[in-house]
A and B are shown apart, each in its own frame.
Chain A
Amino acid sequence: MITVTGLSKSYNGKKVVDDLSFTMKEGKLFALLGSNGAGKSTTIKMMLSLVKKDGGRIEIPEDALLGYSPETPYFPPFLTGMEVLLYYGVLQKIPREKLKVECGTLLHLVGLSEEKTKIKFYSKGMLQRLALAQAMLGNPSILILDEPCAGLDAMGRIEMIELIMKLKTAGKTILMNSHILSDIEKVCDEGMIMQKGKVLRRFTKEDLRGGESLETIFTKTISGGIEK
C-alpha cells in the first residue's frame, strides 16, 4: 500500500500541488485525472523523488521496487529495443546472466520481440511499449505510468490497455495518469480528479457502475470544482 499525505509543491510561489492525500491499494490501479496543469505529473515526479516536495509524506514499502514509464520517453536512437533494456538493466544492477533472458521476456510481453530495428525507426506506439518494458525491468511491484496511451492510434491504445490489464491481473499496483477517460474507465479500480493541485473528487469502480460514465463525472466535477 502507498500512502500520500498532505503533499504539496510550489513553483515561484504558485502552488502546483496543494495538500494532496490519497492511498493506493496493493494490486489495484489508481488513476490520476485532471486537465493540463492539474499537478498530476508533478505528483508522480514527487513520488519518484525526481522533484523535491515542499511538504507532506509519501509512504512506500521499503522493499518495494518502482517502475516508471514516462509520458514522452527518450531512448538513444542508435540502440535497438534489446540494447535499451540491457542499458537500463545494467543501471538497475540486474545480474548480467539473468538480464538478457529478462529483456527477451519483456520485449515479448510488449510485442517487440521481433524488432531488430534501431529506436530511430520506432513508431510512437513502439516507443511507449518499450517504455513500459523498461519500467518492468527487475519485476517491480509498483508501476507508475505517465500517459501510457499518449500519441497511440486506436489499435495501439487497445493493445496498451490490454497489457496494463494483464499487469494488474498479475498483481501489480499501478498508478496511471491519463487524459483518455475511456481507457481509464476500463482498467481503474479507483482514482481522483485533480484541478490546480487539489483533489476535486475521488471515485471508485463502484461509482462508475452506477450508470454515469467517467466522462460525465469528470465534466461535472471540473465544472463544479468541489471535493466529494
Chain B
Amino acid sequence: MKSSVGIIMKTALKERMRRKELYIIVILAILLLLLCSSDVTSITMNGEAVTGFSNMFLLMHTLVHFVGCVLAVVLSLGTIPKEYERKNSHLVWVRNISQEAYHGGLTLANVCASLSAAAILYLALGVYAVTKGHGEVLLRMIPAFLILSLSISFVSLFVSVMSIKLPVMAAGILGVIVMVFGVFHGMIGLFKNMLGGLGGKCMSFFLFLVPDLSGIQNAACHFATGEKMEAHLIFVLLFSLWVVSLGLFIFRKKEA
C-alpha cells in the first residue's frame, strides 16, 4: 500500500508542477515581494497607516496565509474528479488498489502542491525581511512555516476529501466557505456577536465546526517575530486534520 500511495502521489505531483497554476503562484509571489519592498503608507489598520517592519510583516504574513489557502482550494479541487473523468481510475481500480490508497495518494499530492505554492509565497516574505534588514527572523520563519502549513494542509485536505463525494462545484463552494470561516475566524466571531438571532446561531455553529485558521496564522507570525504564541490552537488543528482525513476512509466512489 505504501509504494502504491507513493507512486500515485509522485506522479500526480509531477503533473501539478507542470500546470499553469505554478506560474501564477510565482507571479503572485513576485508581486507580493514588490508590494512589500515599496514603502506603502496607504494601507491602514485600525485607522493607522501600516508602516514599519513588524506591522508590514504581520500584514504580509496574513496575506500569504490567505493567498496560500485560496491556492490550496484551487490546486486541490480538480485532482480526484479529473482522475475519474479521464477514466485513469479504471487502470488503477483493475489493479486492486484500494480507494483509500488511491485517494490518499492524490490527496497527499494536493497537500504537497499547496505547501509548495505557500512555500514560494513564504520565501517572498523571507526576502522582504532580509531586504528590510531583519535577517534574524529567517531561522524562526522555518518552524513558523511549518505551523502555517498545518492551516494550508487543512484546507487542501478538506477540499480533496469533499471532492471524492461531491461535484466539483459543490466541493469548491464548501471549501471556500470553510476557508473563509477559518481564515476570518476572529472577524466572523465579532460579526456573529453583532448579528444575533438565527443568523448568529448559524455562524456560531460554523465557527464551532471550522478550526481557527486565523489563530494558527497569528501563532506562526508570532513565532517568526519571537513573540508569545498560543500553542493549543496547533493541537486543535492537528485533531481537525485527523478528523477530516478520516473522510478518505469513509467517502467512497461507487463506480470507477
Q: Which residues of A contact B94 (CB under 8 A)?
A: 48-50, 66, 68
CA distance A10 to B121 in the complex (A): 50
Q: Nearest-CB distance from A41 to chain B (Å)?
A: 11
Assuming the contacts A49-B93, A50-B93, A52-B255, asked whether A91 and B4 have C-beta atoms less than 8 A apart, the reply is yes
Report whether B97 and A76 are in contact in the complex, using a CB–CB cutoff of 8 Å: no
Q: Which residues of B contact A50 (CB under 8 A)?
A: 89-90, 93-94, 255-256
Interface presence of A213 (CB below 8 A) = no
Report how many residues on chain A are interfacial, defined by Cβ distance under 8 Å.
22
CA distance A93 to B89 in the complex (A): 17
Q: Nearest-CB distance from A68 to chain B (Å)?
A: 5
Those of A40-63 within 8 Å (CB) of chain B:
45, 48-52
Report whether B90 and A68 are in contact in the complex, using a CB–CB cutoff of 8 Å: yes
Of B7, B8, B15, B97, the residue contacting A78 (CB under 8 A) is B15
Across the two chains, which residue of chain B brings its CB closest to A96?
B3
CA distance A88 to B92 in the complex (A): 8
Report whether B88 and A78 are in contact in the complex, using a CB–CB cutoff of 8 Å: no
Contact with B along A10-54 (1 / 0, CB 8 A): 000000000000000000000000000000000001001111100
Interface presence of A92 (CB below 8 A) = yes
Interface presence of B91 (CB below 8 A) = yes
Q: Is the interface of B mostly helix, strand, loop or mixed?
A: helix
Report whether A68 and B87 are in contact in the complex, using a CB–CB cutoff of 8 Å: no
Report whether B87 and A72 are in contact in the complex, using a CB–CB cutoff of 8 Å: yes
Interface presence of A221 (CB below 8 A) = no
Interface presence of A128 (CB below 8 A) = no
Of A70, A74, A90, the residue contacting B7 (CB under 8 A) is A90
Report whether B14 and A76 are in contact in the complex, using a CB–CB cutoff of 8 Å: yes
Report whether B91 and A93 are in contact in the complex, using a CB–CB cutoff of 8 Å: no
Q: Nearest-CB distance from A67 to chain B (Å)?
A: 8
Interface presence of A134 (CB below 8 A) = yes
Of B18, B87, B254, B255, the residue contacting A70 (CB under 8 A) is B87
Those of A74-108 within 8 Å (CB) of chain B:
74, 76, 78-79, 87-88, 90-93
Interface presence of B86 (CB below 8 A) = yes
Q: Which residues of A contact B20 (CB under 8 A)?
A: none
Q: Nearest-CB distance from B39 to chain A (Å)?
A: 43
Interface presence of B228 (CB below 8 A) = no
CA distance A52 to B255 in the complex (A): 7
Q: Nearest-CB distance from B236 to chain A (Å)?
A: 36
CA distance A52 to B15 in the complex (A): 30
Those of B60-115 within 8 Å (CB) of chain A:
86-95, 97
Q: Which residues of A contact B91 (CB under 8 A)?
A: 68, 70, 73, 88, 134
Interface presence of B11 (CB below 8 A) = yes
Q: Nearest-CB distance from A8 to chain B (Å)?
A: 15
Q: Which residues of B contact A93 (CB under 8 A)?
A: 3-4
Across the two chains, which residue of chain A brings its CB closest to B7?
A90
Of B86, B90, B254, the residue contacting A52 (CB under 8 A) is B254
Q: Which residues of A contact B92 (CB under 8 A)?
A: 91
CA distance A43 to B123 in the complex (A): 53
Report whether B18 and A78 are in contact in the complex, using a CB–CB cutoff of 8 Å: yes
Report whether B255 and A51 are in contact in the complex, using a CB–CB cutoff of 8 Å: yes
* Cross-chain pairs A/B with CB under 8 angstroms, 27 sampled: A45-B255, A45-B256, A48-B93, A49-B93, A50-B93, A50-B255, A50-B256, A51-B255, A52-B254, A66-B94, A68-B91, A68-B94, A70-B91, A73-B91, A74-B86, A74-B88, A78-B14, A78-B15, A79-B11, A88-B95, A90-B3, A90-B4, A91-B7, A91-B95, A92-B95, A93-B4, A134-B91
In the complex, besides A50-B94, A50-B256, A88-B95, 12 extra interface pairs with C-beta distance below 8 angstroms are: A49-B93, A49-B94, A50-B89, A50-B90, A50-B255, A51-B256, A66-B94, A70-B87, A76-B14, A78-B14, A91-B7, A91-B8
Nearest 6 pairs of A and B residues by beta carbon: A50-B256, A74-B86, A90-B7, A91-B95, A68-B94, A92-B95
B residues bordering A, Cβ < 8 Å? 3-4, 7-8, 11, 14-15, 18, 86-95, 97, 254-256
A residues bordering B, Cβ < 8 Å? 45, 48-52, 66, 68, 70, 72-74, 76, 78-79, 87-88, 90-93, 134
